[in-house]
Amino acid sequence: MKANPDAPDLNSLRQKLWIAYALVVFLVIGLIFATFPYWGFLLSSKEQMTHAMAIAKDTPHREEVLKVIGPLRYSGFRDLMKPDVYVTLDFEKKQWTIHNVHTFDEKGNVILAEGKYGVCGDLAIYAYQKLRPVFEEKYALQFVKVAEAGYFNLGRGSHIVIRVIDKTLPFGNPHKIFLLDPSYGRYGSVDLFDQYYPLEEFAAGSFKTDPPDEMSDLGGGPPILINDRAMLFFAVDGVGDQFDPNNYRFVLKAAKRYGYMNYEIFVIRKRNGKMDMLEKETPVSGLLPEKVYKKSKEVLQKLFQDHEQRFKSV
């Protein structure tokens, strides 16, 4: 039987199919890398951290700790939305205060928004209040103010964690000291906290958020939210070198995780007695959840207008 000279060469056909298959694979890989920033936005556009719980197996009262801190989420957004929250400015001392941002019950215990949302101080005190009866017989609990590499570096602010000390063991024993971070869901030996740097210690019961107000210097203020890639926070400062009743600003600022730069993304200000608003596009703008960012702008405007009304009535 003679071969048909017009029939396709099978080897040549297979080779072409493999080339086409390889091109498709490379195209898919290229699309994945090209759209990676977009996927990062989707993953980061949540209100809170999505980190996995990091709780070591050899920690004391592990199950009780997990039950308490597992549901907790670091967010100040809901506290700012409370109807009784307002801001006052001290032009002489160059400070500002946000009032009623913390909530307590009749016994002085911290009440978290929806039972799980709060900033680090509130979360630490809440965890302490819940866990103290479990630990108090054998362990001492201390509050520790720390710098943390992700968001609370030495140039930006500080973070609150709990130190758990076994009173029955000598110093130097690897099971003597553990650290507990209710905000980030971490609990273990000091080795688990290599991105933390201790700044100041507080004895149990001496660190409080009571009264319900929070005072800040110009340019600083409380976080509104933290997710995996960015932090959003609220600040008040002056206009240039002026800070007086006719020159001040309410600002939404944002920072990348592990970054030192604070970016202003939304400003409502009074400049020479006239009010205006500015919105800025920055490298962190796409890393924030649109719904919360939009609501945060509304809250900022409400606080600004409320301050104007209160100041006029004085």
Q: Is residue 35 part of a domain?
A: no
pLDDT at 5: 52
Indicate the residue among 175, 203, 231 that finishes a domain. Answer: 203
pLDDT value of residue 272: 94
Do residue 233 and residue 289 come from a single domain? yes
Ranges under pLDDT 70 in the chain = 1-53, 154-157, 204-210, 313-314
- 253 is a domain residue: yes
Beta strands per DSSP E along the chain: 54-55, 73-74, 86-90, 95-99, 117-118, 139-148, 159-166, 177-181, 186-188, 196-203, 214-217, 223-226, 230-237, 248-256, 263-271, 274-279
**pTM of the complete model:** 0.77
Return all residues near 151 (Cβ < 8 A) that are at least 6 apart: 157, 159, 223, 226, 231, 255, 257
Which of 179, 203, 227 is at the close of a domain?
A: 203
**171, 203, 235: which is the final residue of a domain?**
203
Count of domains observed in the chain:
2
- Flag whether 280 is in a domain: yes
- Whole domain around residue 167: which residue ranges? 110-203
Domain shared by 220 and 144, yes or no:
no
The per-residue pLDDT for range 157-215, each reduced to its tens digit, is 688 999 999 988 888 777 789 999 999 889 988 887 888 888 888 776 655 555 788 88
